[in-house]
Structures are given as structure tokens and as C-alpha cells.
Structure 1
Amino acid sequence: MLKEFVEERAAGVLTTTGIPRVDILKVTEPTELFPEIYQPLVSLILQGEKRLLIGSEVMNYTAGQTFIASVALPVIGEIVHASAKGPYLAVRLTFDRAMIADLLLDDPGPAVSSDTPSFCVSHASDRLIDAWFRMLSLMEQPDEIAVMAPLLEREILFRLLRGPQGAVLRQVASIDDRFSQIRNALLRLRKDYATTFHVDELASASNMSPSAFQRRFKTSTGLSPIQYQKRIRLYEARGMLFARPGDVAAVALAVGYESLSQFTREYARMFGSPPARDVRNLRATSPVGPPGYGEPLLG
């Protein structure tokens, strides 16, 4: 029922629903996607299949499964199964940290292990899918959104907290230093991605030893701090070059590279082709264009 409801209302690749932070996604053919920075979110696939590369981990998820992320993650994805008759369909909710924190006051749940990663895939329960359906049904009653959407969002979050992804979701609003300090480090790296940093500085600011900081950081993101910054730089560069093709040297400098040859080498290693050729191919073949910076297009 939810799949049919969503498919009837999906207009193009991305459909804004009028419900705060809730979107519908539809793709009609298998495709590689732009590298993206996923903000903390949950997405539920209703039809089709998606593959994500996060760090060195490859994750597939399909109809009836949810993907959840508690921190900003550099991700490369592809739609594996989709067609005009059976399009990839998904719904997505970007998290409101304050709402999750409020829920945790009433239902704190068990302590979260420092070994818990910041992302996972799991099957959605019938109760969770039902809550999603009632949330999306507000598209037919827009005058009820202001009152009902926050209540239904709380229910979706509550179902997630009580399910197998609860430990990951608790990280979004956790006041535990292990998670809050990593969140702060991620914010700094995303904001100042073009600035050179030393791991010891980040570790000191996080009140951790360098080894403990690196271990916790990689558990959260699947990447070392240096790898994380490099991906942010290259993802941002690709989006900039898509908007301003031909200005490779200026873009390399803007994202923090002092050497054009190093930038070109690392760009080609990440995306399979040198910058100019990659962007030329991308502009010719991409069905969707680049997402806005920090805005996951096909979560």
C-alpha cells in the first residue's frame, strides 16, 4: 500500500512532500550516483535496490529495508535495480536532533557501545512501515501537517529506537563524550575541509589520545580522519567542476590542494578518470546532476 501510494505521487527524481525533511525518491534506470555527503538520516526503500560504498564497506539494501546514518558520511552509491515499469522508490527523513534528544529523555534505552558504527541497514518492521504510510498520507491533508507531522515523526523515531537500529540512532543526540566529540571533529573537518590539520590537534580537542581518536573516528565513518578530509575535498571538487567545467586548477586550489598534479592523480584514483574527462562524461550521462553540497540526493 505504501509503495503504490508513493509511486503515484513521485514526480521526477526528487519529490518534496510538503512535510518537513521528508522526501520521495524515484529513479527509472540503474545508474551510478554522484558522491554525496549523507547527513544524519533514515531512508526506506520501497522498490528496487541500492548499493553504497562507505569507507571500505559495501552495503546493499533493497525493498523493505532501511538505511540509517548518525553522522555526516561521504558515500558513493549506485542504483542497482530500477526500470521504467519498476522504478527505484524510496522515502527519506533527515533527522531532527532535538526531537531525538527529547525522545531519549523518556526512553533512554541501553548505553551505546563505543564500537557501534554510525550506519547500518536493517529490515523495517510492519509498525515502522505503517507509521511511514500515515506520515506520507499527510500529503493528501496538507492542513494537518503542522500538527500531525511532528507526532508521526516521533513515532517513526520511536520505532527506530526500539528496533535493531536504535543504537545507531541514539548516537545522533547522545551527550556521551565519545560521540559528541567525534561529531564536533566531523563538523570541523567539513567546515574547514580546505585547511591542513594534524590528527593530534583533533584528538586533543576531543579529549582523546591520538590512537583512541583515530580508532573511534574510523568506527564511526569507516575512514581515517585524513581519508575523510580527502573525500570531502574530492567530492566538493567534483560538484564545483560540474558547475564550472574547465577551471581545474582553481578548483584544486579552492579545495585545499597546492599541487595540481597531486589533485589530478587523487581525483582520477577516486573517480576513475582525470577531472576534465570525468566531468565531461558526467555531464553527458548523469540523469540527475550533482546534489547540493551536503544534501543527499538519493538517500
Structure 2
Amino acid sequence: MIQSLADKAFAHGKREGDHSTSIPGLTVHIRNKPTEPLHCIYTLSLSMILQGSKQLSVEDELISCAAGQSMLTTFDLPVVSHVTEATRHKSFIALVLKLDYALIMQTCAELEIEKPSKDLKYQPISSHDIDAGLCGAMSRLLGLQQDPEYLDSLSPLIKKEIIIRLLQSPHGMHLRHMASAGAPSNQILNTVTWMKQNFTQSVGIDELAQQAHMSASTFRQHFKSLTGSSPLQYLKHLRLQEARDQMLLNGLDASQASGFVGYESASQFSREYSRLFGLPPQKDIQRLKLS
């Protein structure tokens, strides 16, 4: 079943790269060779590795995901990601589905899902084997591209089925933890959402803690446990990632990008960019365009 889904995904993409589908939020990722480690931000999503393998680094933790495994990200995280196994004859193939937070909350309420134990060690990224039910649901979702007349009516139903299956899978307890109203993770999630929308603003730890209705020390502790970085470091990563996207996708130069994301000093921007991505802005963008 995994191989059948891999073949279906490859038939859609056909070549190396990231390919959008007609299903909102669903993309196909194909690589013909191992890649260099790339700094990026993973959002609330389900990834299915159908062929090849990849590895993530979140702070000091390494997470490997091979063919036949799924990876659930329940919190926006800065990670270093790279494909570790891929060839032209056996490409790395993955499907990534962005998940809807509101639909997760609605589904938990409808199913009267129990809150997870307080003893649960929450993991913002979890990796487990793909079961047949989840694989079948994803295959049907991707297959809607062949039946466009049913896409608008059936894709929401299949996405909801996928969330229900995730809640009942080994991923489920982490998804339930994220959805628990009033839990620290929910308050941190709201703060992160605000940070993503207001990353150009100059903000201090006390103001962020106040938004989360926590003391500064408690906020810092919960934020670190969920994201693996301090709040201000996370904000810096958001700014630098956005600057990188603006240079790569919209043609801004380093000076324009630094000002766009709120840096007052171009030299500070260049230093911090080089520290995060390994190269100065111009050389990094050249490398990305050639890769």
C-alpha cells in the first residue's frame, strides 16, 4: 500500500522539487539525491515518507524518518532538515498535508476526546509507522485530483478522517495535548501565532509573557520545552527565515530584506543570518538557486 501511494505521488510530481496539488494544503516532495542540511520552520502538518529517508535536528535532538513512517508536527518549530537517502533510480518521495487547527479542535470536541495525562511528555514532533487506514485516507485524498468534481465536497471529509485517525494513533496523545484548552501549550501556541503575524515589531520577554498570562520565568520555561529555543531566539529565526524567503522568492537584496523584517542594522542582520544559515545572505541565496 505504501509503494502504491509512492507511485501515485511520483506520477503527480514526476521530477525533483516541491509540487503543489489541487487539494489545498497537500504537497508532493521529490528529491533525487541527499540534500544539504537546510534551516526551515515546520508548521502544523502531517508528513508521510513514502520512499527514501530524512533527518531533522531540533536543538540537540535528532529525529529520523524512513519510508513507511509518518511525522506529525503539532507546533511551529525551527528545524534543520535534510534528505539522507535518495537516488535518481529511487527518489525520496514524501507527502505533506498542512493541518487545520480549528478542525482539530472541532473534531476533539465532537468526539469528546479525553485530555492526555499530565504525566505525558509532550513532543512537538513525533514519528511513527504509517498504518493502513491512514495510508488509505491519504491515497483517497490525493486521488481526488482525478475526480475534480468531487474535490470541494469530499476533501474536507477526508481531511477530517485523517485527523480522527491521527487522534487514535500513537501520534494522538501529542495532538490531544496541543488541543487541550487552557494547557500551557495552547497559550504558547497563541503567542507564537501572534509572533508570526508581528515579527517585525520590537518586543520583550515580559510583553510576550503577559500575552500568555504567565510570569516571565514560567513563560520562558514552557516556551523552551515546546519549541527547543528561547522566545527571542525563536523570533529571530522567524525574521531570518522570512528575510530568506523574501530574497529567494521576491528578489529583495540583503539590505531590503533586513529592513523588511525589522532589522535596524544591516551588519547585525548579516552576522546573524550567516550564523543561522552558514553563509552570508547573497552567497546563501545563490546556493539555494543552484540546488
Alignment TM-score > 0.5, same fold: yes
Q: Which one has more relative contact order, counting CA pairs under 8 Å at least 6 apart?
A: 1
**Amino acid in the other structure paired with 1:150:** P
Query: 1:4 is aligned with what amino acid?
Result: D
Structure 1 residue 213, shift from structure 2 partner: 0.9
SS at match of 1:32: coil
Cα distance, 1:142 vs structure 2: 2.3
Q: CA deviation at 1:89?
A: 0.7
Moved more, 69-78 or 89-98: 69-78
Specify the code of the residue in structure 2 equivalent to 1:145.
L
Q: 1:110 aligns with which of 102, 111, 115?
A: 115
- Alignment-mate amino acid for residue 65 of structure 1: Q
Q: Identify unmatched segments of 5+ residues in structure 2.
A: none
State which of 7, 10, 29 in structure 2 corresponds to 1:4: 7
**Per-residue CA distance 1:92-151 (angstroms, 9 max, x = gap):** 211122221222121413326474132221222222212222222222222222333222
The aligned counterpart of 2:18 is 14
Q: Quote the residue 1:170 is aligned against.
A: 176
Give the Cα–Cα distance (whole angstroms) in 1 for the partners of residues 239 and 178 of structure 2.
24
User: In the superposition, relative to structure 1, how do residues 112 and 236 fare at CA in structure 2: closer, same or farther (>3 Å)?
Assistant: farther
> Cα deviation per residue 1:183-237 (whole Å; 9 max; x = unaligned)?
1210122122222211111112211121211111112211110110111111122
Q: What is the CA RMSD across the aligned residues, in angstroms?
A: 2.2
- TM-score relative to the length of structure 1: 0.86
TM-score, structure 2 normalization: 0.88
Which region of structure 1 is more displaced relative to structure 2, 153-162 or 241-250? 241-250
- Whole-angstrom distance in 2 between the partners of 1:169 and 1:28: 32
> Match for 1:109: what amino acid?
E
CA distance in 1, matches of 2:266, 2:241: 16
Q: Does 1:224 align with 2:227?
A: no
Determine whether 1:278 maps to 2:284. yes
Q: Which residue number in structure 2 is paired with residue 52 of structure 1?
A: 56
| Amino acid paired to 1:120 | S
| 2: CA distance, partners of 1:261 / 1:281 | 21
Taking a change above 3 Å as real, the CA distance of residues 242 and 144 of structure 1, as seen in their structure-2 partners, is closer
Q: How many residues align?
A: 285
Cα 1:266–1:206 change in 2 (3 A) is same
Which residue pairs with 2:215 in the alignment?
209
Task: Indicate if the aligned counterparts of 2:48 and 2:68 stay in contact, CA closer than 8 A.
Answer: yes
Where 2:126 maps in the other structure, the secondary structure is strand
Match of 1:191 among 185, 193, 197: 197
Matched letter for residue 266 of structure 1: E
> What is the 5 A alignment of 1:154-169?
154-169=160-175
- 1:115 touches 1:219 (CA, 8 Å); kept in 2? no
Cross-structure match for 2:83? 79
8 A contact 2:212–2:219 mirrored in 1: yes
State how far apart, in whole Å, the 1-side matches of 2:208 and 2:147 are.
Answer: 48
